[in-house]
Structure 1
Amino acid sequence: MNTVSTLTPDVTLEQAGTALLDDPQPFDPLDYSREPPPGYNLPILPHHVSPGRLERVLRAGRFAVTTEIAPPDSADPEEVYERARVFEGCVDAMNATDGSGAHCHMSSVGMCSLLTRKGYAMVMQVSCRDRNRIAIQGDVLGAAAMGVANIMCLSGDGVQSGDHPEAKPVFDLDCMSALNIVRMMRDESRFLSGRKLTSPPHVFLGAAANPFAPPYDYRPLRLAKKIEAGAQFVQTQYCYDVPMFRRYMEQVRELGLHEKVFILVGVGPLASARTAEWIRSNVAGVHIPDSVIARLKGAQNPKQEGIRLCVDIINEVKEIEGVHGVHIMAYRQEQSVPEIVERSGVLGGRVPWHPGLVKP
């Protein structure tokens, strides 16, 4: 498993790692003695682009765990805090989704604003569906000013699949061009227009990847394009077919992409065979083999079997060369995430920092 990521496509993970290891005080993900008060950024370490904990954990060679936090249909901040507390001590960062499924909820900017003040590590998803280039650049600056250290650029689900099918989609940009623009803002301190920034956003850039959608041989090439555009980490679609994912990773390694990007494999518990069948039929890009559905059908307790299946998949994919972490998506099963993390042993005894560690 590679230990650190690239700053540019010309520098391998190993070269960047050597420079980091030469630092007199390398980052220890278990050492919180130099942790600032919640709401204040960590210093940016050498060869890092952000002050974020997710980047620190990945570059230190630790296996990272991220998850998704579902935004509420509410303006009450306590509902956000209550949802975040479920994940304390078991994840390195939480994705604030941005109109997932084209359904309207609290914005990802709002979620991140509330949670970064408490000290949570957030990944702010930015969908190109609802914003033009002016709005996206403004949101990135605002998020970075609030302490958001991770930005994930997505094209976004089509509005026809959501609860506002009459909405007008924007799609001024796609995920590739959005990545390139945010990278330009960070590395060149300028807007797309060329106007200079007085202070750039120090953000770790992410994207999504789907190894399970045809054309399969094109998927590694698409990953390469996202890396070229600026992606430093990717989170994949749900993985329920490990052999298929292994074949994808073989192609990724042949292209040397595993040395240029951190890959976090998407996993998640299935509540029942019926749920799995519905997802397979209705959610684009999710591949669930018949063997998985048969396993759930044959279980006395399908929900617990879904958790066991998720744990089994984590234990398989974490041994694949080039995999740097997992992204646990447990929609409406968020309470299962701590159990999945504990039973898989994926953190190896490490306890990610969370606001509950702060002494009153």
Structure 2
Amino acid sequence: MRGVSGLARLLGAGHFVVTCEVGPPKGVNVDGLTEKAALLKSFVDAANVTDCQTAVVRLSSIAACVHLAAMGLEPVVQMTARDRNRIAVQSDLLGAYSLGIRNVLCLTGDHQKFGNHPGAKGVFDLDSVQMVEMVRRLGAPGEFQCGEPVCGEPPVFFVGAVENPCAEPLELRVRRLEKKIRAGARFVQTQCVYDLDRFRHFMGLVRARGLHEHAHILAGVTPLKSVRMARFMRDAVAGVYVPDEVVARIEAAADPAAEGVAMCVEQIAALREIEGVAGVHIMAVAWEAIVPEIVRRAGLYPRPADDEPKDRNR
């Protein structure tokens, strides 16, 4: 059962990593999921599996992670506090580890009123900082939150958290990030970045506190597929800041999808130049098929093996 995270090994070796996001099906047929895994496994280092994203019922994240791993794609299980109390969280973590899952991303979760069961009762027994600490303690010193020891081998996860790098006030966001890192987060995936100047300022604050030395920061990017999507991301998605000039560029394009991909590739190039950015997290919403093209055009293919020495040009 032993084994460590391949994602952790790549980051520890200094490689610039690429992760992406995969949504499980709203049913039990996993053909589409395994097709995505086959498409992505040569182009990303790990794939997050969302946990009933937007509070819509889907195949469990843990089950989907097992399917991805069987296809040769390293999974990151997302776990939200919306649907689980601390007993259920710890039980699911033990189960995930026993199935070979070594990466976990802790989130509060989208409120149930936005999903397909708005009458459901949210649990929210823990916040994301408390969940991060709980995952860390399960691995070291190997105890449950109540203080009782874990029997046998402790589940040592590579623990991740999320942060919004563009929502004001940025100073508050950095303090929240610091709490998560102090609690045990060792990698951080950010909300999608469209305002590079604002993100550079955020990273300056991160470096000033030395946080990039204790956790690997993966900057989120989302390719814009259409004018409608660009406007929706700007006007309706809480916590995402899309400058008007970004929307205007998509509006003026003869082929908005191609322009969105080109813009995403440019963003990745700029993000790679920012000190403290250890990788990118590509969130291609219902557009996973475009990820290989983005990775190729960004000069991030082929991906390194976790035992390769760092190549500073890749």
Bin the TM-score by the shorter chain: over 0.9
- Cα deviation, 1:315-346, whole Å, max 9, x if unaligned, reads 00011000000000001111100000000103
Taking the aligned partners of 2:303 and 2:144, their CA distance within structure 1 comes to: 39
Give the Å deviation of 1:351.
Answer: 4.9
Structure 1: gaps of 5 or more residues: 1-40, 45-50, 354-360
> For 1:82-110, what per-residue CA distance to the aligned partner results, in whole angstroms no more than 9, with x for missing partners?
12112021000000100111111111011
Tell me if 1:52 matches 2:5. yes
**TM-score for both structures, normalised by structure 1:** 0.82
Query: Which whole-Å CA distance do the structure 1 matches of 2:102 and 2:62 have between them?
Result: 12
Q: In the TM superposition, what is the alpha-carbon distance from 1:187 to its structure 2 partner?
A: 0.4
Q: Is the 8 A contact 2:136 2:156 kept in 1?
A: no
Equivalent residue for 2:201, pick from 237, 243, 247:
247
Deviation at 1:112, TM superposition (A): 1.2
Q: CA RMSD for the aligned pairs?
A: 1.4
Give the match's secondary structure for 1:101.
helix
Report the Cα offset of residue 307 of structure 1: 0.3
Deviations 1:96-137 (A, max 9, x none): 100111111111011012222333211000000000000000
| Structure-2 separation of matches of 1:214 and 1:288 | 13
- Extract structure 1 runs of 4+ deviating beyond 6 A: none
Asked whether the 8 Å contact 1:272–1:303 carries over to 2, the reply is yes
Q: Which residue of 2 aligns with 1:270?
A: 224
80-89 or 183-192, which moves further after superposition?
A: 80-89
Tell me the distance in 2 between the aligned counterparts of 1:146 and 1:285: 34
Which residue does the alignment assign to 1:139? 92
Q: Per-residue deviation at 1:199? A: 1.7
Aligned to 1:22: none
1:127 aligns with 2:72: no
Amino acid at match of 1:118: M
Please, what TM-score do these two structures have when normalized by structure 2?
A: 0.94
Is the 1:315–1:346 contact (alpha carbons within 8 Å) kept by the matching residues of 2?
no
Q: How many residues align?
A: 305
Q: What amino acid sits opposite 1:324 in the alignment? A: A
Structure 1 residues 50-129: aligned runs within 5 Å: 51-129=4-82
**How do 1:75-224 and structure 2 match up within 5 A?**
75-197=28-150, 198-224=152-178
Query: Would you say the 8 A contact 1:154–1:207 is kept in 2?
Result: yes
Contiguous gaps of at least 5 residues in structure 2? 307-314
Closer, same or farther: CA 211–250 of 1 in aligned 2, 3 Å: same
Q: Residue in 1 aligned with 2:255?
A: 301
**Counterpart-to-counterpart distance in 2, 1:290 and 1:56:** 39
C-alpha contact (below 8 Å) 1:89/1:352 kept by paired residues: no
